Amino acid sequence: SRPAAALQTVDLSVGYGPVAVVQRVALQVGKGEAVALLGANGAGKSTLLKGLSGLLKPSAGKVLFGGVETQGLAAEALVTRGMAHVAEGRRIFRRETVLDNLLLGMYRLKLSPGERDSRCEEVFTLFPVLKQKAGLLAGGLSGGQQQMLAIAQALVRKPSLVMLDEPSVGLAPNLVEEVFRTLETVRAQGVAVLLVEQVVERTLEFVDYAYLLQNGRVTATGTPAELAGSDVVQRAYLGEA
Ligand code: ATP
């Protein structure tokens, strides 16, 4: 059985104007659980995340975060309530220093300078390379380091749920592994993780539960063991679905 829901959707549909992309999705992320959202390019994974985090307004259905319906809440209100969305493409402030990126991640939270410093130190223990580069411009970091910074910028807010959109994209295999090890540490701290990934095998090693999205609909759900044997998943990743 799964833990109580941190995040839950009921018949959620999300699209762009009249174009329905995500259709009637029921998804749940339990407290402290790691959940994968799998699916081919264009299946609607990023669109679904945006609907969850308030960047897109759902066209129908509900999102419940911590048991509270999020309709009408701005994306920022969800951030301050503990939801973090690490969007695709390493959205960092390239012309600011690494340290300032972390401080900018916290600027909406009413924290004392001491608390801000200690949160930076905490994420630096997770990402020592960011500590070494704290005073350098973020745009000068390698791709992998920029991805770590994007994740770190979410973690300084101490979210209860972090949603990540393909954090491994474009990274060398050793860095992909580093991202997964970081996510394992994050999860071990009790943070729920919703991970969109194309690195399917490694993702299934990491998560407790997974959803497969095809053409905007959930077509398979289960534990990694259940999904690994599923024809639907096999076909989806052989591109025959
Ligand atoms: P990828 O791995 O390529 O990011 P995805 O599963 O995240 O794929 P989405 O990015 O959510 O898929 O896209 C799903 C569908 O929505 C695609 O058909 C895409 O063309 C369409 N789409 C994405 N962004 C927009 C937009 N801004 N306006 C209209 N349609 C869009």
* The predicted structure's pLDDT at residue 54: 93
Say if residues 192 and 186 touch (Cβ distance below 8 Å). Answer: no
* The predicted structure's pLDDT at residue 78: 92
Q: CA distances (Å), 157 to each of 18, 107, 134, in order? A: 35, 9, 18
Q: How far apart are the first and last CA of the chain?
A: 29
Q: Encoding tokens for residue 5?
A: 């829901």
* Residue 14, ligand 1, Cβ within 6 A: no
* The predicted structure's pLDDT at residue 108: 82
* Residue 39, ligand 1, Cβ within 6 A: yes
Calculate how far, in angstroms, residue 47's C-alpha sits from the geometric centre of ligand 1.
6
Residues of the chain short of pLDDT 50, as ranges, are: 238-241
Calculate how far, in angstroms, residue 44's C-alpha sits from the geometric centre of ligand 1.
6
Mutate to test the pocket of ligand 1, among 46, 164, 198, 237 (most ligand atoms within 8 A of CB): 46
- For 163-197, how does the pLDDT look when each residue is reduced to its tens digit (9 = 90+)? 999 999 888 898 899 899 999 999 999 999 999 99
Say if residues 159 and 153 touch (Cβ distance below 8 Å). Answer: no
- What residue's CA is closest to ligand 1, atom 20? 42
* The predicted structure's pLDDT at residue 17: 86
* The predicted structure's pLDDT at residue 18: 85
* The predicted structure's pLDDT at residue 237: 65
* The predicted structure's pLDDT at residue 240: 43
* Residue 46, ligand 1, Cβ within 6 A: yes
How far apart are alpha carbons 184 and 216 in whole angstroms? 28
